[in-house]
Amino acid sequence: MADPLRPHFRRLAICSHSGVPWLDEDRCAVTACRKPALRRRNHMGLGAASHHAIVSPGPPGRIFVPTHNAAGNAPYGVGPMPTSEAARVWYAGLPGFRTSSEAESVMKRILFVISGLGAGGAEKVVSQLAQHWADQGKQVTIACFDRPDDPTYHDFPQEVSILRLGRTNTTPGSGKFAKVGDIIALRRIIQRERPEIVLAFLTKNILLTLVAALGQGVRVVCCERNNPEQQQAHWLWNAVLRLAYRRADMVICQTAAVTRCIPEAVQGRVRVIPNPIGKWPISSKHTSPKTIAAVGRLTFQKGFDILIDSFARIAGDRTAWRLQIWGDGPDRDALVGRAQESAAADRIEFMGLSDRPGSWLHGADIFVLPSRYEGFPNVLGEAMAAGLPVIAAGCDFGPAEMIEDGADGILVPVEDRTALAAALARCMDDPELRERLGTAAALSARRYAPQNILRKWDRALEELAETSPAIADNKAIAGREVAK
């Protein structure tokens, strides 16, 4: 009888605490699918404690096929079983190798790594995922680098454990060695909590997590949330990050465009999952005065200086309109001064943080996003879901993928004050245009409905459950398991 597994095997990796030998198809055979047998050749002299491959009969399903590529790396592929009588293979005791049915029962311990729990978009996504997976009965932990007394803007379920590393100016290891202290603290958390997967959000946290997880046998998912090309990081930091990315088990980007920033070596592990966008309840749009709303951290990236200048150009003849800027940040004083010196000083309001998520939408008639660069702007999606007409700078990345110019919103060139002023005037003067754009925006935003996006995250976890961490980390795990 022909061996149905032979065409599907190149090499079988066998991990132990003392090395990673391998079996190839010349050393591994199945005598009969209905009667399992495996001739194992231990050509490195490993003892009985070694993790070994097992072949057994089973229904049609999936077969795990570890293969070595030309570069000598060991990505783990998953292929279909060739026949109904084919055997199924898994690695006894080796983390990461599961049948499809077993995959559903793994990934119960999840660790998030994020800078803080403020009002940002990444923080909101973490809160949504934490709630979603906690509802599924998973053990969810969040490690963040802020202080215990810092405010938490989004809601988290009580069963989610939040570990705030409490970095302050007086904390030992702060200053120039703060990052080393963060790595040590995070590594201790990984060792104590023993997560099966760590999801690192934002570029700097990604590097810290990849280093902290070395040798821990934990899967690391890098969640890029912004435009890596615009990060003001030292060239050495960027070089180390590109090397560290090779250790990522998966990289999740919010848009297709941002994938160009990910090193070629890991492109096969990149998945695109946009942010989940829910619809906030809002009050009637028929307010007086009419309101243009803009939301975001008050920094250079968000381009509020551009918006203030643009609004001031066309506000004189449109006295029924005002501009409200929501958010806080280091550029607040400079922006307030700029507004006070403008021709529309009495109609530009700085609102601070909204008292609850989404409350900035109440009474808004137009939403504007003047950013110089973005990742995936949640506030733009929320405005669209609420049925507001939206105007956005067509920056990398996000707005250009979220808006079809002229159909469900208006895109203008980045940092083009004249174009932004013209788009504002056009919307302010045409209520029918506002209605048409808002209606279309609400329909377009449905593709980001939380139930759809959260399923994509579930599928990402299922995919990770069917693969293994890096071989070097498997060696470390095998050694710890043998020691037990």
Q: Which pLDDT value is given to residue 168? A: 54
Q: How far, in Å, CA of 455 to CA of 386, rounded? A: 22
Instruction: Give the separation between CA 477 and CA 251, rounded to whole angstroms.
Output: 22
**460 within 8 A of 400, measured Cβ to Cβ:** no
Which two three-digit tokens encode residue 203?
């570029």
Distance between CA atoms of residues 223 and 2, nearest Å: 45
Report CA torsion sign: 358, 362, 366, 371.
negative
Strand-pairing partners, residue 23, are 12
pLDDT at 221: 96
Model pTM greater than 0.75?
Answer: no
User: Residue 326's pLDDT is what?
Assistant: 97
CB 100, CB 62: distance < 8 Å: yes
| Predicted local distance difference test score (pLDDT) of residue 120 | 84
**By the 8 A CB rule, do 180 and 436 touch?**
no
The sign one gets for the Cα dihedral 298, 302, 307, 309 is positive
Compute the distance between CA of residue 161 and CA of residue 141 in angstroms, rounded to an integer: 5
Distance of CA 431 to the CA centre of its chain: 37
Distance CA 425, CA 102 (A): 58
Q: How far is CA 430 from the centre of its chain?
A: 38
Q: How far, in Å, CA of 441 to CA of 404, rounded?
A: 9
Give the sheet arrangement for strand 109-114, strand by strand.
161-164, 139-144, 109-114, 197-201, 219-223, 250-253, 270-272
Two tokens, residue 429: 């003067």
Q: How many CB atoms lie within 10 A of CB 418?
A: 12
Taking Cα atoms as reference points, which of 417, 419, 410 lies closest to residue 312? 417
- Please give the CATH superfamily to which domain 109-272 belongs: Glycogen Phosphorylase B; (3.40.50.2000)
pLDDT tens track of the chain, all 484 residues? 444 443 333 333 333 232 333 333 333 333 222 223 333 333 323 233 333 333 333 333 333 333 333 333 333 333 333 333 333 333 333 344 444 444 445 578 999 999 999 888 899 999 999 999 999 999 999 999 998 889 888 889 999 999 998 755 445 545 556 788 899 999 999 999 999 999 999 888 999 999 999 999 999 999 988 777 776 666 776 788 788 888 999 999 998 888 888 888 899 999 999 999 988 776 545 567 899 999 999 999 999 999 999 999 999 999 999 999 999 999 999 999 999 999 999 999 999 998 888 889 988 999 999 999 998 999 999 999 999 999 999 987 889 999 999 999 999 999 999 999 999 999 999 999 999 999 999 999 999 999 999 999 999 999 988 876 653 344 344 344 333 4
Residue 292: the pLDDT is 97
Q: What H or E segment, with its residue span, contains residue 152?
A: none
Residue 110 near residue 140 (C-beta atoms within 8 A): yes
CA distance 447 to 197: 27
Sign of CA dihedral 397, 406, 370, 418: positive
CATH topology of domain 290-448: Rossmann fold (3.40.50)
**CA dihedral sign, ordered 281, 286, 289, 293:** positive
Q: CA torsion 254→259→264→270, rounded to 10°? A: 30
Residue 175's pLDDT is 55
212 closest CA partner among 231, 236, 185: 185
Tell me whether residue 456 is exposed, middle or buried, using C-beta atoms within 10 angstroms of its C-beta: 0 to 12, 13 to 18, 19 or more.
middle
Going by C-beta distance under 8 Å and a sequence separation of 6 or more, which residues neighbour residue 98? 90, 106, 465, 466
Enumerate residues 6+ apart whose C-beta is below 8 A from 32: 1
**Angle in degrees, CA 10, 265, 480, rounded to 5:** 65
At 128, is the secondary structure helix, strand, or coil? Answer: helix
Residues of the chain with CATH 3.40.50.2000: 109-272, 290-448
